[in-house]
Structure 1
Amino acid sequence: MAESESYGLPVIDMQDFPGQLSKLIKACEEWGCFRIVNFQTFVPQSLMQEMKSVVRSLLDLPIEIKRRNVDVIAGSGYMAPSKINPLYEALGLYDMTSAQDVDVFCTKLDAAPHQRQTIVRYARAVHELMVDIGRKIGEGLGLKDVPFVGWPCQFRINKYTFTSESVGSSGVQLHTDSSFLTVLQDDEIIGGLEVMRKSGTFVAINPCPETLLVNLGDIAAVWSNGRFCNVKHRVLCKEAGIRVSIASFLLGPKEEVVETPPELVDSKHPPLYIPFTYEEFRKLRVSKKLHTGEALDLLRTES
């Protein structure tokens, strides 16, 4: 791979629409990720700070309590440090749009009333933001109806324990997200996140307080008929310290198939992928251990 370099991502102003539509679509096509600013009507800065405090408390719980956070689907529950990712652990919630799922998550972790309230508020706010971003992406492509409202939204809170001895090591290996899009509240101080451009060059994503990072995943590549970039990314240990991030994933339709909207398909742009369900795709990625977008190659149409 090429050496890492650091330069700015596209920045999308959420209060400047439709003026930002062309910039948004270009970012989806060329980068597969972008920062957003002026989103506080959805997620106030105070709520972001409160949530980060709650997340740190939950990740500091004893291991026996964290292990109660079991999977609903593969990889949706607690992930302990492993041989592959020894510096990383995470707690997860399958669908933060489900009041029952949120209640079970909070109950299993013995969340205090104020922690539970913060999680509920954050889940609702970020879900509304993700749906709004999805609608804006659809509008930028000339679509009128974009069906993101009923899609499950996975939630994952991440902790990286970096030491001086682990500098240069992998925090999380290179991967794409299996989702349509991801909204990430990154660590405000400790970096390490890198995205890979189509050229193979890695770009360091440095901490930028009061912004959120949006990544496009595999489902976005399919939905856009290959037009959007499902960005590959990784986390490296670059300095000692505890790095904490909050990732929210707009996954894919729960029961309907994933397919390109008919408005984006014509004789010059035939469908690149066969229809499939998100659950089928998730199982394919896990069973084949294809975590950097290769699973999509198995779902291409013969043409």
Structure 2
Amino acid sequence: MDAKCSIPVIDFHDFPNQSSKLIAACEEWGCFRLINHHQLLPVTLMSEMKAVVRSLFDIPMEIKRRNLDVITGSGYMAPTTKNPFYEALGLYNMASRRDIDNFCSQLDTSPHQRETIIKYAEAVHELFARIGNKLAEGLGVKNENTGIENWPCQFRINKYHFTPESVGSPGVQIHTDSGFLTILQDDEGVGGLEVMNKSGEFIPVDPWPDTLIVNLGDMATVWSNGRLCNVKHRVQCKEANIRVSIASFLLGPDEILEPLQELVDDDHPRVFVPTTYEDYRKLRFSTNLHAGEALELLYTPTSHKI
């Protein structure tokens, strides 16, 4: 694919040289591909985790249904009329050992599967903290002001059962992520993820083994006072095949989230009223606005559309 038509690539080993490129990617695209992250999340662990994910989807339906929601969408999601080719398993907070143990007990995982999930969760949680701090540094915010490492991290594994009849159909509808950051370990061989650019065009994000996709969600837009953009994305069925991905979501604080003080001044007035992640999540569901439109309901009276 032409580099002009693909999402930015950020080299995790090349900071602080990549700092301005990271901020530009988050301002213009709201997403990027991360390479050279293997000191924190090794290729071997990524491969082992993908094998565990595939095996979990092969367990009987009655066991998968034990994976109950903590918040809406955090447990087992069976295929629906709206998304007939999609199913998912998940847990609310992968930063919580108790939540991980509960998830593994629900699904009768083996000791090896449990150990792999724990290692993967720890690595991704550390990666979230590192990326969050690099965003803060790039915006001129002091790291100690963020508290990102204490935010819950939702975990979801996805399977798409694409058939010949489904080619050209949506696997998941257009949406933004409600949280702060998403780290996606995509399928190594089966494409389908598409992100929307500033012109409103959907750009395919083709498979690139051993890399990660990082999306910014609605909470990142609030946190940055509108400077960083959330990214609309979807999954399309490109071929009749099974597609498996692993998504981790850094959600937002349990307490109030509001634009960072360092990013609010006379030239950059406050765009959003304070909210909590939970209140905002409920707002999205109650209004059925899942593609970032709910942010407009948080505008301050004096703000202009960003």
Tell me the TM-score range normalised by the shorter chain: over 0.9
Q: Name the amino acid aligned to 1:236.
A: Q
In structure 1, what is the equivalent of residue 155 of structure 2?
155
In structure 1, what is the equivalent of residue 187 of structure 2?
187
Q: Secondary structure at the match of 1:118?
A: helix
* 1:205-250 deviation digits (Å, cap 9, x = unpaired): 0000011000000000111111111000000001011000000000
Query: Counterparts of 1:149 and 1:287 in 2: how far apart (Å)?
Result: 29
Deviation at 1:161, TM superposition (A): 0.4
Deviation at 1:186, TM superposition (A): 0.0
In structure 2, what is the equivalent of residue 283 of structure 1?
282
Query: Counterparts of 1:8 and 1:74 in 2: how far apart (Å)?
Result: 32
Is residue 2:269 matched to residue 1:270? yes
How many positions carry a matched residue from both structures?
298
Q: Name the amino acid aligned to 1:207.
A: P
In structure 1, what is the equivalent of residue 234 of structure 2?
234
Q: Name the amino acid aligned to 1:109.
A: L
Q: Name the amino acid aligned to 2:24.
A: K
In structure 1, what is the equivalent of residue 56 of structure 2?
58
* 1:25-48 deviation digits (Å, cap 9, x = unpaired): 000000000001110111000000
Decide which moves more: 18-27 or 60-69. Answer: 60-69
Q: Is the 8 A contact 2:160 2:242 kept in 1?
A: yes
Query: Counterparts of 1:195 and 1:8 in 2: how far apart (Å)?
Result: 9
Runs of 4+ residues deviating >6 angstroms: none
Q: Is the 8 A contact 1:191 1:207 kept in 2?
A: yes
Is residue 2:111 matched to residue 1:116? no
The TM-score normalised by the length of structure 1 is 0.97
Q: Name the amino acid aligned to 2:38.
A: Q
Q: Is the 8 A contact 1:6 1:204 kept in 2?
A: no
Q: Secondary structure at the match of 1:189?
A: coil
Q: Is the 8 A contact 1:6 1:203 kept in 2?
A: no
Q: Secondary structure at the match of 1:171?
A: strand
The TM-score normalised by the length of structure 2 is 0.96
Is residue 2:101 matched to residue 1:103? yes
Q: Secondary structure at the match of 2:148?
A: coil
Gapped runs of 5+ residues in structure 2?
Answer: none
Q: Is the 8 A contact 1:90 1:157 kept in 2?
A: yes
Aligned partner (choices 15, 23, 28) of residue 26 of structure 2: 28
How much is the aligned-residue C-alpha RMSD, in angstroms? 1.0
Gapped runs of 5+ residues in structure 1?
Answer: none
Q: Is the 8 A contact 1:160 1:244 kept in 2?
A: yes
Q: Secondary structure at the match of 2:275?
A: coil
Q: Secondary structure at the match of 1:68?
A: coil
Q: Is the 8 A contact 2:28 2:229 kept in 1?
A: yes
Deviation at 1:8, TM superposition (A): 2.1
Q: Secondary structure at the match of 1:97?
A: coil
Q: Is the 8 A contact 2:128 2:149 kept in 1?
A: no
